[in-house]
Amino acid sequence: MKKFRVFLTVVLVFALIFGLFVGCGQQATNENQQGGEKQEQQPTEMVLRYNLGTEPETLDPAKATGVPEMTVMLHTFDGLTRLDKDGNPVPAVAESWEVKNDGKTYIFHLRKDVKWSDGQPVTAHDFEFAWKRALSPEIASEYAYQLYYLKNGEKYNTGEITDPNEVGVKALDDYTLQVDLEQPAPYFLSLVAFPTLYPLPKHVLDAHPDWPKGIDKDPSLYVTNGPFLLKEWSHHDKIILEKNPNYFDKDKVKLDKLVFYMVEDENTAVQMFENGEVDVIDNIPTAQIDQWKGKPEFHIDPILGTYYILVNVGSDKTMGGEKNPLQDVRVRKAIAMAINRSVITDKILKAGQQPAYAFVPPGIPDAKPGTDFRKVGGNYFSEDIDKAKQLLAEAGYPDGKGFPKLVYLYNTSEGHKKIGEAIQSMLKENLGIEIQLQNQEWKVYLQSRNEGQYDLARAGWLGDYVDPMTFLDMWVSTSGNNDTGWANPEYDKLIEEAKYTTDNAKRVELMHKAEDILMSEMPIIPLYFYTNPRLVKTYVKNYAPISLGWIDFKEAYIEK
Amino acid sequence: MGRFIIRRIALMLVALWVVVTVTFFLAHMIPGGPFDREKPVPEAIKKNLEEKYHLNEPLWKQYILYLNDILHGDLGPSFKYPDRTVNDIISESFPVSAELGFWAVLIATVVGIWLGSLSALHQGGMIDSVSMFFAILFISLPSFVIAPIFQYIFGVKMHILPVANWGTWKHLIMPALSLALGPTAVIARLTRASMLEVLNNDYVKAAKARGIPGLRVLIVYALKNALIPVVTYLFPLIAAIFTGSFVVEKIFNIPGLGRYYVTSIYNRDYTVILGVTVFYAAFLILMNLLADITYALLDPRIRYE
């Protein structure tokens, strides 16, 4: 017996020693993969580590759609303009421009000192090439519609026209780009800062039509023109960017290296932050917000976004088969007024979100410089339980009697569930109406919304560019984003008119009028305006939180 | 034995074909597609995308196209990650999961058998009670409870291990332990129960009576047969662990294969769903075959035609 015990112990010890040897052998090969959990590099190298939160789907500016992809490309590319920390476009590859033809023609004059990472100059031909490529049906870019502003952009993308030369972008010479638009877009200068409109190295793509396939194996193939260059892409692990020594604005860039982690688990990200393994993280789990509030690392950065409830106005019957009460605007208003939003923002979310009594969020300039569209527009309603009860009674459901049960749809998530439960209890208590919560998996939920298979549905919208139009044109009757079934010809007319108006003051006035209609009809019930809470180490300085949800480290630095 | 193996491999190919077919049609039956986004893609662009990936063709035709590709070893492009192929995804992530899995299985097997044997030999003693207590504990605690506790203790509090990610031997320790604890407990209990039963058998007592040295009896006569139930558990365990654990890899952000089993379905990434499912199925079937071969080696009573 004793010998057996000795035998087993010896085997165990051998196995562990064997393991150690193999492990040490690996360590030698792994040491050069370390990429800095702690600041281990040469003391003079300035490295910033950020959690991107997930693997970028692609790093092709024509095909990327999400924030992680945009964030990486923001650091590796420069467009004609670049957004500053307030979201305003400033000159980048374009050093000056002329606006002609009532805002329908732009002539961009490019700098002559911008180079690709392989030394070739960035020319107007690179822009023309990239924009036509993004519109080509073969590329099948999901964001091609960002280029529908161009003359014949949509027609070329849908195949109505087959000659790309009819699209309204042309390189007049190496450093002059002419752009012709279908209609004036006063925010066009912001639009050209958007990744879909970045230039691409034509000479590289001519040689590698599959580009950017293979950049994970050979990062030097990712030829770009921005403040940083791709050094390493380790899938679902990290991306490493290094300062671009040939960047035209390199004096503004202080960081030597950027490490973007792809940790999806929010709790793990916070643990990494606490352990000093990462410097900046977004997406703090709600349960942890309380312990970070008030600490200097806790930042609430702005983001243009509204969380709201979609109301199924187009359906005559509810999901339960009864007459749809939501088709009566008084019912919609009653529901809007009976929800206590501060319960949601202060008790559930706790990250400085603002209750919303309109759809367009604050942070977008109005006509006069220094003013804010939301401030000028004001609130369209207030929380008033008595008035809500009165409206409900007028609609024929005093104290909720006879009101059918409504389905509130949300995509499976703890956060949305809590908000739904709060709304459910508030509506029961304040109005006497019953809401049934239903959660569906993300894509199933999207399809349900699309097909009108809901009564009320939670939704969120983040702006694509800093202008009220990105929040307003989605509610025209023909928009694919309008899942409510609401159609108002007056609204459609106002939006159409605003799109073709060159006088900015008039345009803004038209948009206010449109929002007036939207909020008096209330096919959507706004709940709150988003914020972007972040944890940022105190030694990280001068980063630019761009209100489209991105973060720009171009001019950031570490001060220990 | 040789004919046996060949027959089994033929059966495996049939089984894999069934897996591909059922998975293909099931995956396409779920509502929603790879290009459904919150900001819906305009119709014309959606049409372009569907044409590019043959999603607009009748389902049986897509199935035939896919079968044809898979027979040539091409698992197709990913819909979610358009610049990567499924072959690339598997060939890059599997070695990571396999490395992590190797350590977890090694720890579980060695420590499990060791503890289980000791407990059997000293049944009722201190070692037995303590081991079996911890065994129950670790079987009951899910990995997503154990893992963050480790992260907190060894990472945030003691600063001796990195909280997450992959690359050095330090990154291996916590995930391997998180993965290994449950299986160690199971193997310990299996070994113990099996050893107890075997040690009571006549042939063991007879061997001892004949004067064969105690240690030889224990290893050659007892342990060899006691391991058969362990083998039954072990080989499918290897399949499950080597192909990646979704939970542990997510918590420690390990770039292995585990995430794809769940995310591919969430993304409706048809080619990845099929690729990882077929891969897992093939691996599992192979492991079962290896288990059967191992039985034959361990127990002379088992013979195959």
Please give the full DSSP string across A280-331, using - where no structure is assigned.
EEE---HHHHHHHTTSTTEEEEEEEEEEEEEE--S-SB-TTSSB-GGGSHHH
CB proximity list for B244: less than 8 A, separation 6 or greater = B93, B94, B96, B97, B100, B101, B256, B257, B258, B259, B260, B261
What value does the mean pLDDT take over residues A398-415?
93
Q: Any CB–CB contact under 8 A between A134 and chain B?
A: no
Is residue A30's pLDDT more than 60?
Answer: no
Contact A294, A84 (CB under 8 A): no
The burial class, CB within 10 Å (0-12 / 13-18 / 19+), for A42 is exposed
Nearest partner of B283 among B232, B240, B246, judged by Cα: B240
Extract the tokens encoding B142: 């899910």
Pairing of strands A257-261, A47-51: parallel
Contact A361, A471 (CB under 8 A): yes
Look at residue A29 in the predicted model and tell me its pLDDT.
Answer: 41
Looking at chain B, which residue has its C-alpha nearest residue A238? B165
User: For chain B, how big is the Rg over CA atoms in Å?
Assistant: 24
> With b meaning 16 or more CB within 10 Å and e meaning fewer, what string describes A212-236?
bbebbeebebbbbbbbbbbbebbbb
Look at residue A8 in the predicted model and tell me its pLDDT.
Answer: 66
Contact A429, A421 (CB under 8 A): no
Probe site for chain B from A12, A14, A37, A211 (most B CB atoms < 10 A): A37
Going by pLDDT thresholds of 50, 70 and 90, the confidence category of residue A26 is very low
Identify residue A265 by its one-letter amino acid code: D
Look at residue A6 in the predicted model and tell me its pLDDT.
Answer: 65
In the predicted model, what is the mean pLDDT of chain B?
89
Is residue A39's pLDDT more than 80?
Answer: no
Q: How far apart are CA A519 and CA A560, in angstroms?
A: 50
Cβ-defined contact of A213 to B83 (cutoff 8 Å) = yes
CA distance A144 to chain B (A): 8
Contact A532, A302 (CB under 8 A): yes
Q: How far apart are CA A284 and CA A270, in angstroms?
A: 7
Q: What HEC string does chain B produce?
A: CHHHHHHHHHHHHHHHHHHHHHHHHHHHHCCCCCCCCCCCCCHHHHHHHHHHCCCCCCHHHHHHHHHHHHHCCCCCECCCCCCCEHHHHHHHHHHHHHHHHHHHHHHHHHHHHHHHHHHHHCCCCHHHHHHHHHHHHHHHCCHHHHHHHHHHHHHHHCCCCCCCCCCCHHHHHHHHHHHHHHHHHHHHHHHHHHHHHHHCCHHHHHHHHCCCCHHHHHHHHHHHHHHHHHHHHHHHHHHHHHCCCHHHHHHCCCCCCHHHHHHHHHCCCHHHHHHHHHHHHHHHHHHHHHHHHHHHHHCCCCCCC
Which residue did the predictor score with more confidence, A22 or B22? B22
pLDDT for A434-456, tens place per residue?
999 999 998 899 989 989 999 99
Q: How far apart are CA A300 and CA A282, in angstroms?
A: 10
Cβ-defined contact of B45 to A141 (cutoff 8 Å) = yes
Q: How far apart are CA B245 and CA B147, in angstroms?
A: 12
Size of interface A-B (CB pairs under 8 A): 178
CB proximity list for A287: less than 8 A, separation 6 or greater = none
- Which residue in B81, B114, B152 is closest to A271 by CB distance? B152
Nearest partner of A239 among A27, A50, A67, A60, judged by Cα: A50
Q: How far apart are CA B112 and CA B125, in angstroms?
A: 17
Q: How far apart are CA B292 and CA B302, in angstroms?
A: 9
CB proximity list for A30: less than 8 A, separation 6 or greater = B167, B168, B169
Cβ-defined contact of A58 to B159 (cutoff 8 Å) = no
Q: Any CB–CB contact under 8 A between B37 and chain A?
A: yes
What value does the mean pLDDT take over residues A24-53?
61
Q: How far apart are CA B293 and CA B287, in angstroms?
A: 10
CA distance B163 to chain A (A): 6
Q: How far apart are CA A375 and CA A313, in angstroms?
A: 29
Which residue did the predictor score with more confidence, B43 or A527? A527
What value does the mean pLDDT take over residues B116-138?
87
Q: How far apart are CA B133 and CA B126, in angstroms?
A: 11
For residue A196, give the 3-state DSSP assignment.
helix
Other beta carbons less than 10 A from residue A18's beta carbon: 12
What value does the mean pLDDT take over residues A491-498?
94
Going by pLDDT thresholds of 50, 70 and 90, the confidence category of residue B204 is confident
Angle (CA) A548-A549-A551 rounded to 5° is 110
Other beta carbons less than 10 A from residue B122's beta carbon: 15
**φ, ψ of residue B162 in degrees (nearest 5):** -70, 145
Q: How far apart are CA A461 and CA A474, in angstroms?
A: 10
Look at residue B303 in the predicted model and tell me its pLDDT.
Answer: 73
Q: Taking CB atoms and an 8 Å cutoff, what residues of chain A touch B81?
A: 55, 57-58
Look at residue A4 in the predicted model and tell me its pLDDT.
Answer: 63
Probe site for chain B from A1, A3, A4 (most B CB atoms < 10 A): A4
What value does the mean pLDDT take over residues B266-292?
93
Going by pLDDT thresholds of 50, 70 and 90, the confidence category of residue A147 is very high
Q: How far apart are CA A351 and CA A286, in angstroms?
A: 8
**φ, ψ of residue A408 in degrees (nearest 5):** -105, 115
Q: Taking CB atoms and an 8 Å cutoff, what residues of chain B touch A480?
A: 40-43
Extract the tokens encoding A119: 């030394």
Is residue A28's pLDDT more than 50?
Answer: no
Going by pLDDT thresholds of 50, 70 and 90, the confidence category of residue B262 is very high
Which residue bears the tokens 């609204």?
Answer: A491
For residue A516, give the 3-state DSSP assignment.
helix
Rounded to the nearest 10 degrees, how much is the dihedral formed by the CA atoms of A503, A505, A507, A513?
Answer: -150
What value does the mean pLDDT take over residues B249-258?
94
Cβ-defined contact of B255 to A59 (cutoff 8 Å) = no
Count the residues in chain A: 560
Q: How far apart are CA B40 and CA B198, in angstroms?
A: 65
Cβ-defined contact of B253 to A261 (cutoff 8 Å) = yes
Pairing of strands A550-552, A544-546: antiparallel
Q: Any CB–CB contact under 8 A between B266 and chain A?
A: yes
**φ, ψ of residue A310 in degrees (nearest 5):** -80, 135
Extract the tokens encoding A194: 């958007």
In the predicted model, what is the mean pLDDT of chain A?
91
Q: How far apart are CA A223 and CA A126, in angstroms?
A: 12
Nearest partner of A434 among A410, A389, A399, judged by Cα: A399
Q: How far apart are CA A267 and CA A283, in angstroms?
A: 10
Q: How far apart are CA B266 and CA B259, in angstroms?
A: 11
Probe site for chain A from B92, B152, B158, B163 (most A CB atoms < 10 A): B163
Contact A292, A284 (CB under 8 A): yes
Q: Any CB–CB contact under 8 A between B95 and chain A?
A: no
Look at residue A478 in the predicted model and tell me its pLDDT.
Answer: 86
DSSP secondary structure string for all residues of A98-153: EEEGGGTEEEEEEPS--B-TTSPBP-HHHHHHHHHHHH-TTT--TTGGGGTTBTTH
Is residue A27's pLDDT more than 90?
Answer: no
Look at residue A11 in the predicted model and tell me its pLDDT.
Answer: 66
For residue A258, give the 3-state DSSP assignment.
strand
pLDDT for A315-364, tens place per residue?
999 999 999 999 999 999 999 999 999 999 999 999 999 999 999 999 99
Is residue B95's pLDDT more than 80?
Answer: yes
Q: Any CB–CB contact under 8 A between B33 and chain A?
A: yes
What value does the mean pLDDT take over residues B281-289?
92
Q: Taking CB atoms and an 8 Å cutoff, what residues of chain A touch B39?
A: 65, 464, 481
Q: Any CB–CB contact under 8 A between B133 and chain A?
A: no
Chain B, 210-239: which have a CB under 8 Å from a chain A CB? 213-215, 218-219
pLDDT for A238-279, tens place per residue?
999 999 999 999 999 999 999 999 999 999 999 999 999 999
Look at residue A269 in the predicted model and tell me its pLDDT.
Answer: 95
Look at residue A187 in the predicted model and tell me its pLDDT.
Answer: 85
Probe site for chain A from B145, B168, B265 (most A CB atoms < 10 A): B168
DSSP secondary-structure letter at A403? P
- Which residue in B164, B168, B252 is closest to A34 by CB distance? B168
- Which residue in B33, B215, B268 is closest to A4 by CB distance? B215
First-to-final CA distance of chain B? 6
Extract the tokens encoding B97: 């999961």
What value does the mean pLDDT take over residues A401-414?
94
Q: How far apart are CA A435 and CA B91, in angstroms?
A: 49
Q: Any CB–CB contact under 8 A between A271 and chain B?
A: yes
Q: How far apart are CA A8 and CA B226, in angstroms?
A: 15
Contact A458, A408 (CB under 8 A): yes
Region of residue A367 (phi > 0: left; psi between -120 and 50: alpha; otherwise: beta): alpha
Look at residue A315 in the predicted model and tell me its pLDDT.
Answer: 92
pLDDT for A162-218, tens place per residue?
999 999 999 999 999 999 999 888 889 989 999 999 999 999 999 999 999 999 999
For residue A93, give the 3-state DSSP assignment.
coil
Which residue bears the tokens 């007028």?
Answer: A394
